């Protein structure tokens, strides 16, 4: 799987490149700002672009804007955005109702090497990877007549992983539970929240996120 | 001084009584009424002079009028049959009329400065003394003198009696003094009037009427002296005309001087009015109080080292001369302003100084007021600058934390994790590395929260609406947000955000509320941010130092913060921040 990495910090860029190479990815380009990134993505058409939100010159949201451009211009290129901060609204704005090939992770997730490599792969395959902290923000939000109150702690955990973009198999591996147990939990959650069973993972992520944002 | 005036008054009173008696005893054909009237004219000048001197001690007009009073009283002694009194007072008696002319020309300042007027007075005084002297040299009592009864009187100065010469001298005197000089006086007064400024004319008007009346009478007398014999009834009328004019003159002068005195009283009024007058109204008030519509006030500007007019333009102070008079106003040796005014006001320097002092006070007040306003503006500006600087500094610190420390820590944690993997799970060192990496991750978490408290990046990147949304998402209470997505100046967004942040924290901590709302919208160039809850209320704006600090911050931007918190009725914190956009 071919990857472009964009980050202005050489140290981090190199580190991420190393763990991704170790994980079996091919690093086709490394960019230090948004312009270089867009150029590399347009010419090389990688499977995934790993993009730091803050890059020169203003260190505000250059990466996020570049990510939006890539998602509009080249829908087949997966984009994994790395952010220094957890902002659900920010993440969901980039998400823009199209979960295919999109990821938004807190930058320090790169130190959880296995999960990170797995998330890059998932986004590269057209899947979704939303940071658990963002999901926690959405799940933890206080609501009046909170429907999440009916969920058991385990069900909440499973709901969070569903929202992050994990498939049932992915949830199985993460929680070390049998596929049958996970399926029971998933059905129970969907029933309690009044959601229809989704035909695929993409639509399940959409439905769950839409529910959490409401 | 008071004693002197009392003495003069008593002396004049006695002299008058004596003059009355001299007329009754010596002037055949006179009546008590005429004798009293003659004395009354003298007393009128004396009384008016004493009054004027009391009120206007530095004005020579008072003493001049007193002298005139005495001269007119003494004049009656020329009717005495005593040779010495007759000789002495016939010679000096006419001085009274020259003094009257002097007073008329000296009014209102008491000084005669015009060269022509001075020359006239010299001629008048000389005529008043020389002609009686000449008459006394030739008077041998063979024919009665004019205005005298037929009883002969003895001149002690007689050198060669000649009734014809005396008659010629008397006629010449009547023509010169009562005809030419009285006519010249009318002309001089008219000239004075024509040259006078509007203010001076108001002061001169009553005098003009009376002096012209008196002088006309003299001219008439002069003409009549050629009619022989003059009918007695005409002389009788002329006498009363003369007496009326002579009594009216000092009274009119006194009223004129007292009116100036009233102007002094109006200074007290001026002080009161100036207290309520804005700086740009000072000139008008002053012009009114001094009765000089042409008055200009030029203000001294120490910072520019020049005088300016009331619209702030550089002004040149004209020379103090015939056209305009200049009075400087200063305080503690520092110039404050100059008054450029009608030269007629020189007649009354006390008035100008008093009014000027009042104006100085008001001007100084106005300057102080200006200074305070300027300082307040400066303080307000510097406060806004301080807040803006602090905001910029917060943003910088936040960015440094994220892009500097945080990046390095994450990179370091990544190194540790990579090393841990290289060592393999069984190596004891790997466990140390793992725990170190975990510690680092916690440190990064804490650093992130710290940076967010300093300045949430989403505020810069997403604006107020996004930042409030994020704030609501993190809150321990359900929060409904209504916010306009439009971007505002960073300082306004930051201020509104921190108001919402602090207010929401207070809701969670103190309000016992079940829900909260945040509403941010623009209203006529002002951002209104309102944070409301359904809690127990009873909060005070000054209660928590947090809210007080926020109020300071909002006020630094020219806005205000208010807290509505009736007990049991929830709390509503409303910040209004001007946002010119």
Q: Which residue shows structure tokens 């060192």?
A: B429
Q: Which residues of A touch B457 (CB under 8 A)?
A: 60, 84-85, 87
Q: Looking at the structure, do residues A42 and A61 belong to the same domain, yes or no? A: yes
Q: Looking at the structure, do residues A20 and A123 belong to the same domain, yes or no? A: yes
Query: Min CA distance, B417 vs chain A (Å)?
Result: 6
Kindly identify which residue of chain A lies nearest to residue B456, measuring between CA atoms: A85
Q: Which of A18, A60, A108 sits opposite B461 (nearest CB)?
A: A60
Chain A residues with CB under 8 Å of a chain B CB are 9, 11-12, 15-16, 18-19, 22, 54, 59-61, 64, 84-90, 93, 107-108, 110-113, 137-138, 141-144
Walk across the sheet containing B479-483 and list its strands: B479-483, B516-523, B526-533, B572-578, B560-564
Q: Looking at the structure, do residues A102 and A180 belong to the same domain, yes or no? A: no
- Taking CB atoms and an 8 Å cut-off, how many pairs form between chains A and B? 100
Radius of gyration of chain B (CA): 47
Looking at A106, A135, A164, the residue that finishes a domain is A135
**The pair of three-digit structure tokens given for residue B572, joined into one six-digit string:** 């509503």
Looking at A115, A135, A155, the residue that finishes a domain is A135
Whether residue B495 contacts residue B554, with contact meaning beta carbons closer than 8 Å, is answered with: yes
| DSSP letter (8 states) at residue B541 | T
State how far the Cα of B27 lies from the Cα of B21, in Å rounded to an integer. 10
Looking at A83, A103, A135, the residue that finishes a domain is A135
Number of domains in chain A: 2
Q: Looking at the structure, do residues A156 and A108 belong to the same domain, yes or no? A: no
DSSP B371-423: HHHHHHHHHHHHHHHHHHHHHHHHHHHHHHIIIIIIHHHHHHHHHHHHHHHHH
Q: Looking at the structure, do residues A49 and A107 belong to the same domain, yes or no? A: yes
| DSSP letter (8 states) at residue A110 | G
Q: Which residue shows structure tokens 């009736």?
A: B566
Residues A108, B444: C-beta atoms closer than 8 Å: yes
Q: Which of B410, B418, B472 sits opposite A108 (nearest CB)?
A: B410
Q: Looking at the structure, do residues A123 and A152 belong to the same domain, yes or no? A: no
Digitized pLDDT (tens) for each residue of chain B, 581 residues in all: 788 889 999 999 999 999 999 888 888 888 888 899 999 999 999 999 998 888 777 778 889 999 999 999 999 999 888 999 999 998 888 899 899 999 988 887 788 888 999 999 999 999 999 999 999 999 888 888 877 887 888 888 888 888 888 888 888 888 888 888 888 998 998 888 888 777 677 777 777 888 878 788 788 777 777 766 656 667 778 788 888 888 888 888 888 777 766 666 677 777 777 777 776 778 888 887 887 778 888 888 777 888 887 777 888 888 888 778 888 887 777 888 888 888 777 777 777 888 888 877 777 777 777 788 888 888 888 888 888 888 889 888 988 888 888 888 999 999 999 899 888 878 888 889 989 999 998 999 899 888 888 888 888 888 899 899 889 888 888 899 999 888 998 889 999 999 999 999 888 888 888 999 999 999 888 999 999 999 888 877 666 657 788 888 898 888 999 988 888 888 999 999 998 75
Residues 6+ apart with CB under 8 A from B198: B293, B294, B342
Q: pLDDT by residue (tens digit) across B216-245?
A: 878 877 777 776 665 666 777 878 888 888
Kindly identify which residue of chain A lies nearest to residue B413, measuring between CA atoms: A111
Q: Looking at the structure, do residues A19 and A43 belong to the same domain, yes or no? A: yes
ipTM: 0.86
Q: Looking at the structure, do residues A90 and A186 belong to the same domain, yes or no? A: no
Q: Which of A59, A93, A137 sits opposite B403 (nearest CB)?
A: A59
Residues A111, B414: C-beta atoms closer than 8 Å: yes
Smallest CA-to-CA distance from B575 within B456, B506, B495, B516 is with: B495
Give the domain CATH number at A202: 1.10.10.10
Q: In angstroms, what CA-CA distances link B410 with A181, B161, B417?
A: 36, 141, 10
Q: What is the pTM of this model?
A: 0.58
Burial label for B40, CB within 10 Å (0-12, 13-18, 19+), is: middle
Q: What angle do CA A66, A70, A75 make, to 5 degrees?
A: 160
Radius of gyration of chain A (CA): 17
The Cβ of residue A191 has, within 10 Å, a number of other Cβ atoms equal to: 11
Q: Which of A18, A54, A113 sits opposite B403 (nearest CB)?
A: A54
Q: pLDDT by residue (tens digit) across B346-382?
A: 777 777 888 888 877 777 777 777 788 888 888 888 8
Q: What angle do CA A137, A138, A140 make, to 5 degrees?
A: 65
State how far the Cα of B477 lies from the Cα of B516, in Å rounded to an integer. 7
**The pair of three-digit structure tokens given for residue B56, joined into one six-digit string:** 């206007």
State how far the Cα of B469 lies from the Cα of B567, in Å rounded to an integer. 29
CA atoms within 13 A on the CB side of B508: 15
State how far the Cα of B249 lies from the Cα of B41, in Å rounded to an integer. 9
What domain range is A148 assigned to?
142-213
Q: Looking at the structure, do residues A124 and A150 belong to the same domain, yes or no? A: no
Q: In angstroms, what CA-CA distances link A64 with A12, A39, B400, B448, B461?
A: 18, 16, 19, 19, 10
Q: Looking at the structure, do residues A92 and A71 belong to the same domain, yes or no? A: yes
Give the domain CATH number at A28: 3.40.50.2300
Dihedral over alpha carbons B108, B214, B69, B194 (to 10 degrees): 10
């Amino acid at each position: 799987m071919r990857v472009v990495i964009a980050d202005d910090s050489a140290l981090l860029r190199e580190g991420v490149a190393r763990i991704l190479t170790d994980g079996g990815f091919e690093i086709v380009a490394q960019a230090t700002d948004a312009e270089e990134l867009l150029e590399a993505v347009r010419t090389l058409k990688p499977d995934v672009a790993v993009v730091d939100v803050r890059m020169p010159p203003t260190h505000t949201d250059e990466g996020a804007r570049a990510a939006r451009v890539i998602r509009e211009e080249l829908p087949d290129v997966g984009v994994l955005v790395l952010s220094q901060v957890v902002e659900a609204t920010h993440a969901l704005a980039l998400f823009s109702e199209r979960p295919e090939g999109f990821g938004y992770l807190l930058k320090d997730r790169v130190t959880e090497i296995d999960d990170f490599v797995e998330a890059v792969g998932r986004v590269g395959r057209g899947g979704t990877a939303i940071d658990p902290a963002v999901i926690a923000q959405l799940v933890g939000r206080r609501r009046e007549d909170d429907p999440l109150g009916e969920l058991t702690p385990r069900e909440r955990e499973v709901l969070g992983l569903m929202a992050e973009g994990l498939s049932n198999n992915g949830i199985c591996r993460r929680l070390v539970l049998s596929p049958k147990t996970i399926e029971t939990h998933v059905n129970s959650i969907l029933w309690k929240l009044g959601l229809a069973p989704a035909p695929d993972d993409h639509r399940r992520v959409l439905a769950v996120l839409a529910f959490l944002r409401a | 001084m008071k004693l002197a005036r009392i003495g003069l008054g008593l002396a004049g009173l006695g002299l008058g009584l004596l003059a009355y008696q001299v007329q009754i005893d010596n002037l055949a054909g006179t009546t008590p009424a005429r004798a009293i009237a003659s004395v009354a004219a003298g007393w009128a000048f004396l009384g008016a002079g004493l009054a004027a001197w009391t009120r206007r001690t530095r004005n020579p007009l008072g003493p001049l009028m007193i002298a005139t009073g005495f001269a007119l009283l003494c004049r009656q002694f020329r009717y005495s049959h005593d040779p010495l009194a007759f000789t002495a007072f016939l010679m000096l008696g006419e001085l009274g009329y020259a003094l009257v002319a002097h007073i008329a020309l000296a009014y209102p300042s008491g000084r005669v400065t015009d060269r022509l007027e001075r020359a006239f007075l010299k001629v008048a005084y000389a005529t008043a003394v020389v002609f009686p002297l000449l008459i006394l040299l030739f008077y041998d009592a063979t024919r009665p003198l004019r205005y005298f009864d037929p009883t002969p009187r003895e001149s002690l100065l007689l050198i060669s009696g000649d009734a014809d010469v005396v008659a010629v001298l008397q006629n010449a005197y009547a023509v010169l003094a009562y005809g030419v000089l009285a006519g010249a006086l009318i002309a001089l007064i008219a000239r004075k009037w024509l040259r006078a400024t509007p203010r001076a004319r108001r002061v001169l008007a009553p005098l003009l009427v009376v002096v012209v009346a008196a002088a006309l009478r003299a001219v008439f007398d002069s003409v009549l002296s050629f009619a022989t014999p003059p009918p007695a009834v005409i002389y009788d009328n002329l006498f009363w005309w003369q007496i009326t004019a002579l009594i009216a003159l000092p009274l009119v002068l006194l009223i004129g001087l007292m009116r100036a005195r009233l102007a002094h009283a109006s200074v007290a009024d001026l002080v009161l009015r100036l207290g309520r007058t804005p700086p740009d109204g000072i000139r008008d008030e002053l012009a009114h109080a001094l009765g000089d519509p042409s008055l200009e006030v030029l203000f001294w500007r120490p910072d520019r080292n020049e005088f300016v007019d009331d619209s702030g333009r550089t002004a040149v102070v004209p020379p103090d001369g015939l056209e305009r008079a200049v009075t400087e106003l200063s305080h503690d040796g520092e110039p404050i302003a100059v008054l450029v005014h009608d030269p007629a006001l020189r007649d009354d320097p006390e008035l100008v100084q008093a009014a000027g002092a009042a104006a100085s006070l008001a001007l100084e007040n106005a300057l102080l007021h200006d200074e305070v306003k300027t300082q307040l503006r400066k303080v307000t500006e510097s406060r806004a600058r301080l807040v803006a600087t602090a905001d910029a500094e917060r943003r910088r610190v936040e960015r440094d934390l994220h892009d500097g420390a945080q990046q390095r820590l994450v990179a370091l944690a990544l190194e540790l994790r990579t090393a841990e993997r290289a060592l393999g799970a069984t190596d004891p060192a790997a466990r140390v590395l793992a725990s170190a990496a975990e510690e680092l991750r916690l440190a990064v978490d804490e650093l992130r929260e710290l940076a967010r408290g300093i300045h949430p990046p989403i505020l810069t990147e997403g604006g107020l609406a996004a930042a409030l949304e994020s704030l609501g998402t993190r809150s321990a209470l359900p929060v409904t947000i209504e916010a306009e997505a439009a971007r505002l100046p960073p300082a306004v967004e930051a201020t509104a955000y921190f108001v919402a942040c602090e207010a929401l924290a207070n809701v969670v901590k103190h309000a016992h509320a079940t829900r909260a709302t945040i509403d941010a919208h623009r209203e006529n160039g002002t951002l209104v941010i309102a944070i409301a809850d359904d809690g127990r209320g009873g909060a005070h704006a000054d209660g928590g130092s947090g809210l007080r600090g926020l109020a300071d911050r909002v006020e630094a931007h020219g806005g205000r913060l208010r807290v509505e918190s009736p007990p049991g009725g929830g709390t509503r914190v409303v910040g209004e921040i001007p946002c010119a956009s």
